[in-house]
Amino acid sequence: MRDRLDELGPDTDVALITFTKPDRLDSYLTTNNLPFAVLLDPERSSYRSYGIGRTSVMRAWGARAASRYVQLFAQGRWRDLRRPTEDTLQLGGDFVVAPDGTLAYGFWSEGPDDRPGVDELIAAISLD
């Protein structure tokens, strides 16, 4: 999404809401280098308000994740791996809020790798 922000209208604001704790914000921002606002919700009240749940250990750390770790080791990139500092079972979502405050689009992830495509998000923003 970061490389396509110019496709959004000039009146479009993009923000990421994360449950990262305030004392980890600097590290989070350095690691992710995001070109838009980052809002903190360590109590996850917005997650609950939008009905974003959690996944199972098997879904988060099952065969797909194991395969990715094997791939990283095979590529010699094991040094790129970091111990998780966040809740790896917390699901995410992507939402478009219309100017009048109503929800124009919602995507509730079913797993840690479940996200809408950038084209889908841009189309949803264009419709609001």
Residue of 47 and 10 predicted with greater confidence: 47
User: What's the confidence (pLDDT) of residue 93?
Assistant: 95
0.85 surpassed by pTM: no
Q: Residue 97 burial (CB < 10 Å; 0-12/13-18/19+)?
A: middle
For the ranges 26-30, 41-45, 57-61, 84-88, the maximum mean pLDDT occurs at: 41-45
With contact defined as beta carbons under 8 Å apart, do 88 and 56 qualify? no
Domain ranges, ordered by start, for the chain: 2-56+85-127
User: What's the confidence (pLDDT) of residue 8?
Assistant: 83
The tokens describing 27, both together, are: 């590290």
CATH (one of 3.30.950.10, 3.40.50.300, 3.40.30.10, 3.10.20.740) for 2-56+85-127: 3.40.30.10
Residue of 46 and 28 predicted with greater confidence: 46
Alpha carbon 38 to its chain centroid, in Å, reads 11
Binned at pLDDT 50, 70 and 90, residue 66 comes out as confident
Q: Residue 105 pairs with which residues in a beta bridge?
A: 96
With contact defined as beta carbons under 8 Å apart, do 115 and 92 qualify? yes
User: What's the confidence (pLDDT) of residue 69?
Assistant: 78
